[in-house]
Structure 1
Amino acid sequence: MKQITPNQVNDKLLSGETLNIIDVREVDEVKEGRIPTALNIPLGLLEFRIQELDKSKEYIMVCRSGGRSGRAASFLEGRGFKVINMSGGMLEWAGRVE
């Protein structure tokens, strides 16, 4: 599974790169702050909302510490999606939140 650090994600956003970020935390966790433009799909709902995703795009998976996003990335990889896990999760995120 491919990995990316929170700093690398932030650098890409600051350079104007368009990223497809999926935050798999629960709704109440996301209310505390999320990466701008991130789509919230809680891990438990991912299999039911998979039709919302496009296999031609690459997705960066995010959670609190990197564990749930790793499980989400493995799940999507197994179904033919291109995914990268953001290691360290939001605990290590130093960029802007909304």
Structure 2
Amino acid sequence: MKSISVQDLAALGDTAEIVDVREDDEYAEIRVPGARSIPLSRFAQSLPEVPASGTVYVMCAAGGRSAQATVYLEDQGYDAVNVTGGIIEWDRNGHPVNRG
């Protein structure tokens, strides 16, 4: 499984396709601007919502759930990368977030 730090992801800029696999209430609380919400609890059913081309960066709160989703996506033929540290590290490092 490929991984990326939040610093390296932020360096990619606004063009990075981020899929956030946290649940709806977590996503509503804090999220990366432009990230697509596809909760892990319904991830398999929502696979058509995952961009089929290009690299998909998968994020959760700290990296555990996103690792599961990344492995699943890789098994389905996607170019998926786990974001280590998740939204917690993203926010802690001062990268932009939307709240509420």
- TM-score (ref. length: structure 2): 0.89
- Gaps of at least 5 residues in structure 2 are none
What's 1:2 paired with?
2
Shift of 1:62: 0.2
* 1:78 and 2:97 aligned: no
Distance in structure 1 (CA, Å) of the matches to 2:73 and 2:97: 25
User: Normalized against structure 1, the TM-score is what?
Assistant: 0.91
Query: Please, which of 29, 43, 48 is the counterpart of residue 46 of structure 1?
Result: 43
The alpha-carbon deviation at position 33 of structure 1 amounts to 1.1
Q: Structure 1 stretches of 5 or more lacking a match?
A: none
SS in 2 for 1:22: strand
- Give the superposition deviation at 1:59: 0.2
Q: Secondary structure at the match of 1:56?
A: coil
| 1:90 matched residue in structure 2 | 87
Structure 1 CA distance for aligned equivalents of residues 61 and 83 of structure 2? 10
CA RMSD of aligned residues (A): 1.1
Percent identity (aligned) = 37
Number of corresponding residues:
95
- Answer yes or no: is the 8 Å Cα contact 1:58–1:81 preserved in 2: yes
Q: Structure 1 segments of 4 or more deviating over 4 A?
A: none
Alignment-mate amino acid for residue 96 of structure 2 = R
